[in-house]
Amino acid sequence: MSKKNNKEACALCGRELKELSRYIEGNEGYLCSDCSAIANDYFNAHNSIKPNNKKYDIKILPPKEIKALLDQYVIGQDYAKKILSVAVYNHYKRIMQDNTNNDVEIEKSNVLLIGPTGSGKTLLARTLAKALNVPFAIADATTVTEAGYVGDDVENILLRLIQNADGDVKLAEKGIIYIDEIDKISRKSESRSITRDVSGEGVQQALLKIIEGTISSVPPYGGRKHPHQNNIDINTSNILFICGGAFIDIEKSIAERTSKKGLGFAAEVNSMENLEYDEIMKHIATEDLVKFGLIPELIGRLPVVATLQELKEEDLIRILKEPKNSLIKQYKKLFEYDNVDLSFDDEALKVIVKKAMEEHTGARGLRALFEKVMLDSMYDLPSDKKSIKIKKEYVEEKLNIH
């Protein structure tokens, strides 16, 4: 530094002011711009631990209450909701207890959700986090790469969770991470490859480290780590990981395996059209997931497996009408702001649902179809009309159905 020893220099690195382009002058000395930036990184990383975050007050709800909350937002999928409710209750019961008695170590119950596109996997995970009032982050497995390749490091997933916890690392350590498209990073074959597989086994190994529990060093601003920044340390041992994927055609592998073992229901493998997807998926086993391309170590860290059913036409109709935040209720509220009463014919809804089923987008595709149908009506708002009724013919016109 120092003003006291008559040497005008940076208090930290000792460089003289005449060597510096920029510096800060204080009561007792100077700080160069480089040291100031390092100090800023340090405090940003360490001041992110805020133990008294009032935004989140974690609730430990019993399984029946968790399922009741899921029922308000997610239609159907009762079996999957029951499995999830028990797994989540056990997880938070475990981590919120006093751990002074360590005679039994209870492993955490990470979850694997398997179901068709648009069946409600992401919605289930998001609703769980909302019900329990814990930080939540979503990641797409296809954007993650193993160390050394261009793409997201697994640490960036953890950074998202920390950011969503308002920087409270201790709170983030009790959060939920949903990793979507986990099936898209399956290795290309059951045998281990000699060469690296950027989007396959290497990524699974990278995810495995944080899922099974580790102390991970996270760059405070994302991107790659470098040795001259102060990273945030986060313990992933109590983070609940929920992985989801469609696992397209895995039911064929299950039917073939169960037929060979004589389980009866899959006796006619060659006539797959006679087999119900939902019935087959009840018999999924570890060997089916390994054959699909997940590594055994990752499967072992996802001990709770819940399969979601294919949504039928009546399910999609209920999804449009019944949840607290259903699309129909959302659009009715938007029109209500302009003093217009919006309503839909049941036949009009059936046309939209049928189109979604033809496009194999499930519940996820309903929003886009509604936007097409409602665009012109919303464009004309505000309007002199006091009520608008959407009919079948109007929907067919807007969706180019002839």
| 119 marked ligand binding residue | yes
Q: Is 110 helix (H, G, I), strand (E, B) or coil?
A: coil
> Tokens 């055994």 identify what position?
296
| 171 marked ligand binding residue | no
Angle subtended at Cα 378 by Cα 375 and Cα 384, rounded to the nearest 5 degrees: 140
Q: What is the CA radius of gyration of the chain?
A: 27
218 phi/psi in degrees, rounded to 5: -110, 125
| 135 marked ligand binding residue | no
| 10 marked ligand binding residue | yes
Tokens encoding 382: 């505000």
End-to-end Cα, the chain, rounded Å: 81
| 243 marked ligand binding residue | no
Task: Extract long-range pairs of 215-223: CB within 8 Å, 24+ residues apart.
Answer: 216/154, 216/155, 216/158, 217/155, 218/155, 218/156, 218/158, 218/159, 218/162, 219/155, 219/159, 220/41, 220/44, 220/45, 220/48, 220/159, 222/156, 222/159, 223/156
| 117 marked ligand binding residue | yes
| 32 marked ligand binding residue | yes
Tokens encoding 189: 């074959």
| 142 marked ligand binding residue | no
Q: What are the start-end ranges of the E strands in 60-214?
A: 111-114, 136-140, 176-180
Binding residues: 10, 13, 32, 35, 116-123
Binding residues for Zn(2+): 10, 13, 32, 35
Binding residues for ATP: 116-123
